[in-house]
Structures are given as structure tokens and as C-alpha cells.
Amino acid sequence: MYAILHVSFIVEDVQRALRFYQDVLGLKINHQRPDLGYPGAWLDCGDQQIHLLELPNPDPVTGRPEHGGRDRHAAFAVETLDVLSASLEKAGVEFTRSKSGRQALFCRDPDGNALEFVEVP
């Protein structure tokens, strides 16, 4: 059996990333992160976590597909897309709806990491 425990995203500035993940998405910091020798943060996301790693990014952040569903991404369950889309709009974060017709949307964090949110009632 396999289960995802966390996903990690490389970020240029962990404080800027936290403003997105905390203020826009509403995630909470998990303070159990040890000193790993570089800045970062762990965020609780249901029973799993998102790890933000402030490290040099080996991947290009430009030239990526406009729609995050055509790029590598992590998918998250949300109760309602209406609340999330309102928060994204208020913060000026662009997003696209799923091309498959599912109740899902895609956006990117400030570092270009693609995120999918699927409405799961």
C-alpha cells in the first residue's frame, strides 16, 4: 500500500510563499519542522503536508504551460471551489477551470508551481 504523506515545492522566498499558502489558501504552519540547514516551512493540508523548500530552483519557471493541468502539479481536495475562487480573485491570483468538465480549478503559486483543486463534497 502507498499513500502520499507530503509534497515539496521549491520556492525563492519562503515568506512570500507563506503569504500565498497561509493568507490565500488558509493553510496552517506545522511547527515541528527541524532545522534542516536552509529556510523552509511545513504546512498542514488535511492529514498530509506541503513542504516549502527555499532552495535554488533547477527548473525553468518561464515557458510552462498556461493551464496547470498540462504541467506537473499536485492536486488537493476542497469542500467548495466558490470559496477558493473568491479568495484567489481577491488576491489577484489567476486560475483556470478544468478542461475535463470536472469541478476543479488550477492556479500557480508565486514560484510557478502548479496546483489543482478538486471539489469533493
Instruction: State which amino acid sits at residue 40.
Output: G
User: For residue 51, what pLDDT is reported?
Assistant: 98
Is 75 found in the same domain as 115? yes
Average pLDDT of every residue of the chain = 95
Q: Region 34-54: what's the mean pLDDT?
A: 97
Residue 60 has pLDDT above 90, yes or no: no
The 8 Å CB, 24+ separation contacts for 117-121 are: 117/75, 117/76, 117/77, 117/78, 117/81, 117/84, 118/75, 118/76, 118/77, 118/78, 119/77, 119/78, 119/79, 119/80, 119/81, 120/77, 120/78, 120/79, 121/79
Residue 5 has pLDDT above 90, yes or no: yes
Sheet bearing 114-119, strands edge to edge: 73-78, 114-119, 104-108, 95-97
Residue 10 lies in a domain: yes
Q: Residue 83: which domain range?
A: 68-119
Instruction: State which amino acid sits at residue 4.
Output: I
Q: What is the pLDDT of residues 73-86, one digit of tens each?
A: 999 999 999 999 99
Is 48 found in the same domain as 72? no
Is 81 found in the same domain as 50? no
Residue 23 has pLDDT above 90, yes or no: yes
User: For residue 53, what pLDDT is reported?
Assistant: 98
User: What Cα–Cα distance (Å) separates residue 82 from each residue in 65, 78, 87, 97, 119?
Assistant: 24, 10, 9, 12, 9
User: For residue 121, what pLDDT is reported?
Assistant: 80
